[in-house]
C-alpha cells in the first residue's frame, strides 16, 4: 500500500512528520468518514482486508450499513486509550486497528512503517507522551505542521467551527 491522501501529498511535509504527528491518539471520527472500509472498500463490495477481523466486527456494530444521519456515530481513533495522549495509537496500528485508512497505511508503507514500529511500546518504544522518542517528535511535528500554508491578515480566518467557513 502507499500513502495516497491528496491533502497530505500536496503539502511539502516530511513523511516522518506524518507519523510523528500521531495526533489521532485522541479524538473521534464519525462513521461517514470510514464506512467504505467496512462495507465497500475501493468499490469491491467487501471490507478493507487490512482491518483486523475483531475491529471490523466492532466497527460494523457501531456503524451499521443501514444507519441514518449525516455523520453517523463517533468512534474513538485510538481504540486502546482513547482519552490519553500516548503511544497506544501506534500499537493499535500494528494490530491493524487503524480506524482511518490513512492511519492504517502508515504501517504498510515502507517510508513510515519503521517509524510506527519505533513508537510502539512492544517494539522498544515507550508509552506515554514524555517517555521515549515520540513525545519530542510529536512536539516538533506540530510546530512544523502549524507553519504549513499559514494564511495571515485578511487572507485567512480563525474558524468558529473548524469544519465550516465563517460567514
Q: Are 72 and 30 in contact (CB under 8 A)?
A: yes
pLDDT band at 123 (very low <50, low <70, confident <90, very high): very low
Supply the pLDDT for residue 38.
96
Assigned C-alpha cell, 110: 515502507
Burial class (CB in 10 A: 0-12, 13-18, 19+), 49: exposed
Q: Is the pTM of this model over 0.85?
A: no
CA–CA dist 110, 115 (Å, integer): 10
Supply the pLDDT for residue 117.
79
Strands 28-30 and 74-76, bridge-based pairing: antiparallel
pLDDT band at 125 (very low <50, low <70, confident <90, very high): very low
3-state secondary structure of 60: helix
| Res. 10: pLDDT tops 60 | no
Sole residue written with cell 464519525? 30
pLDDT digits (tens, 9 = 90+) for 36-71: 999 999 999 999 999 999 999 999 999 998 766 678
pLDDT digits (tens, 9 = 90+) for 63-98: 998 766 678 899 999 988 888 878 888 888 889 999
Domains and CATH numbers, the chain: 6-27+77-155 (1.10.420.10)
CA–CA dist 79, 59 (Å, integer): 11
Amino acid at each position: 500500500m502507499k500513502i495516497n491522501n491528496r491533502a497530505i501529498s500536496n503539502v511539502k511535509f516530511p513523511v516522518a512528520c506524518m507519523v510523528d504527528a500521531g495526533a489521532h491518539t485522541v479524538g473521534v471520527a464519525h462513521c461517514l468518514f470510514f464506512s467504505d472500509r467496512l462495507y465497500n472498500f475501493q468499490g469491491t463490495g467487501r471490507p478493507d482486508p487490512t482491518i483486523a477481523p475483531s475491529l471490523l466486527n466492532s466497527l460494523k456494530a457501531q456503524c451499521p450499513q443501514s444507519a441514518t444521519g449525516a455523520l453517523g456515530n463517533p468512534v474513538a481513533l485510538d481504540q486502546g486509550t482513547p482519552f490519553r495522549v500516548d503511544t497506544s495509537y501506534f500499537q493499535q496500528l500494528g494490530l491493524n486497528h487503524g480506524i482511518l485508512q490513512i492511519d492504517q497505511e502508515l504501517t504498510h508503507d515502507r517510508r513510515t512503517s519503521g517509524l510506527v514500529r519505533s513508537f510502539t511500546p512492544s517494539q522498544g518504544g515507550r508509552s506515554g507522551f514524555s517517555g521515549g522518542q515520540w513525545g519530542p517528535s510529536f512536539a516538533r511535528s506540530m510546530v512544523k505542521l502549524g507553519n504549513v500554508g499559514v494564511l495571515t491578515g485578511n487572507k485567512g480566518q480563525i474558524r468558529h467551527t473548524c469544519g465550516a467557513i465563517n460567514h
